[in-house]
Structure 1
Amino acid sequence: MNKEISIYIDGKEIKTVQSENLLKVARENGIEIPGLCWHPRLSPTGACRLCGVKIEGMRGIVMSCTIEAQDGMKITAFDPELEHIRKNNLDFMLSEHNEDSDPSYFDEFAPLIDKYNLRN
């Protein structure tokens, strides 16, 4: 049985259980950290690099899809640096495709494309 813990995402206290996936916890609590690889039936890989967060006491940016919640974690999910990194990573992924020749690819990412103003 997992014990109940508290984590803090952008100052908001969230109750969850020890070792729950951090990205899942955020999304279940209305915090929409972007990410492409995380799905309940798939193993997260951290490859898209969109779900990066900062965790107090940890160095660098951590992919939230690959880390488990631990009691007392203080997480920054949104700040100018993280948003800049997300926009650049998404722009790089999209640069491999042409919207005119592959519209379904862009449809799938439409919410993120619009959020980061990456329409041509």
Structure 2
Amino acid sequence: MTDMEEAIALQRAGDFEELTRRGIQMSGGALGLKEGWGKAPFHGMRAHYFAEVASDAIGKQGRHRFWRAECGAETTTHDKAPMFAMGNWERCKVCLKKRNVTRSRDATQNTHNENVSRHDRR
């Protein structure tokens, strides 16, 4: 059995592969970005690709942030329970598929634009 202090040390060192091997799921620290792979506290068993939609409400727990994932999942976080970096949580398959489609389309468009600009230089 893994000692909690040891697990926290592995998490701080970013050794998520070792945590996964031991059957431990931990997120990274607070996400700190407006968009990216994150794990919402108390929200399911997978990390999603979230984008911050709004952050203008302030309540007892500090600033509230509203998030929407590529797959349509929505959640709210606040300063005391922030969006966490993915860590070693399994990724949502729908978010992953949509992100791959978007990245592929963008790469294709960039390649096309480079080829067009090279052609224009001649």
Q: TM-score, normalised by structure 1?
A: 0.30
Q: Tell me which protein shows more helix as a share of its residues.
A: 2
Q: Which structure carries more strand by proportion? A: 2
Please report the TM-score for the alignment, with normalisation by the length of structure 2: 0.30
